[in-house]
Amino acid sequence: MGILSIITSVAFFLPLIILGIRKLMHDKLLIWFAVFWAWAGLINIIFEGDYVSAGRVILVLQRVYNLFDVPILLLILFKTTYIEEVRNSIKKVILPFFVIETAAIAIAGFESPVESILVALGVLLALYYLGWIILLHMKGIHYSNYQHAMQFIYYALFFEYGVSIINFIYSYLLPDKVSEKDNFLIFYMASCITMLIALYGILIYREKIPPGKKKAKRPEREMEIRYL
């Protein structure tokens, strides 16, 4: 593994590490994204570390990850967004998209034009829903601290999937135009920038304290009041 690959792999685990340091591992919203990126970091380590020696196995793992990355992201957006119209739309799309991907790969196999179309469609779906959520925020939805922090999570994801279009073009459509090394360089740099944006959102997040758990002011004792 090169130094940039190691930095990128570590960066993918930072959201999970920061949540642990800030004792926010129980946060049911941020933890989805932290685990999502940690999974990406683990896959990157497997690809770059030669822990799986069989070339065919590596190829299948890479293709499966690329195909089902977006359905997992859509599930996370469904679980975490509070915007009902976005949730309803994702609910209608996610299962059919997953079924179509599974059936198409079962019939056509990997490394087929069908796979390229599905990956491209997945990236566009991710950008569509992320852009939709960001635009609704920009149109004046009332900001809480949580919503403000989540904006940076969405910015990070939108940037990540936006740059992935470049990687898709070079990996699937124009594999001979750019070297694999340059394509990975784009991925590493984009991933590090993505993590910086996401980490800012996590660091400014302040956990909501339920009303029943707010620390009450200490009442003055009756005797102290009586003898003032």
Nearest to 129 by CA among 93, 95, 99: 93
Question: What is the residue range of 95's domain?
Answer: 3-226
pLDDT for 1-20, tens place per residue? Answer: 578 888 999 999 999 999 99
Q: Highest mean pLDDT: which of 45-54, 83-92, 177-186?
A: 83-92
Q: How confident is the model at residue 228 (pLDDT cuts 50, 70, 90)?
A: very low
- Other CB atoms within a 10 A radius of the CB of residue 41 amount to 20
Q: How many domains does the chain have?
A: 1
Q: Is residue 220's pLDDT more than 50? A: no
Radius of gyration of the chain (CA): 22
Q: Is residue 139's pLDDT more than 80? A: no
pLDDT for 17-55, tens place per residue? Answer: 999 999 999 888 899 999 999 999 988 888 776 655 555
The whole-model pTM stands at 0.82
Alpha helices in the chain (DSSP H): 3-21, 30-48, 55-80, 84-108, 113-138, 145-168, 180-204, 222-226
C-alpha separations of 21 from 14, 24, 28, 151 in Å: 10, 8, 16, 22
What pLDDT does residue 215 have? Answer: 46
